[in-house]
Amino acid sequence: MNAVIKVGGKQYYVSEGSEIYVEKLDAEVGDKVSFDQVLMLDSKIGSPYLSGVTVLGEVVKNGKQRKITVFKYKSKDRSNRRKQGHRQPYTKIKITKINA
């Protein structure tokens, strides 16, 4: 079974056994999580969500992504070069079951 779920304002295409990286959730490693906002299941499309369908998963890891560098630069002004870094926190989830 394949499904499209909505987590943290983003949509993810998942199947049983797949691992996804979502925005940081308030869950510890080993906790079970369930997602009720299922937009599509195989060929069934919800409006906006399917009722009676849940996707179950388990938290594998909490962490931060690799650092990206953001440059702020103004042309012809050498003294205003700024360099910022950012690491987005994430939660890695393994999808265990799709209940339909």
pLDDT band at 76, cuts 50/70/90? confident
Could you count the other beta carbons within 10 Å of the beta carbon of residue 45? 11
Structure tokens at 84: 């910022």
**Which residues have a Cβ under 8 Å from the Cβ of 55 and sit 6 or more positions away?**
3, 5, 14, 34, 35, 38, 95, 97, 98, 99
pLDDT digits (tens, 9 = 90+) for 2-61: 999 999 999 999 999 999 999 999 999 999 999 999 999 998 999 999 999 999 999 999
Rounded distance between C-alpha atoms, residue 93 and residue 18, angstroms: 8
ω into residue 48 within 30 of 0, thus cis? yes
Q: What is the residue extent of each domain of the chain?
A: 2-99
Closest CA to 95 of 22, 10, 8, 9: 22
Closest alpha carbon to 15 in 35, 36, 33, 1 = 1
Per-residue model confidence (pLDDT) at position 69: 77
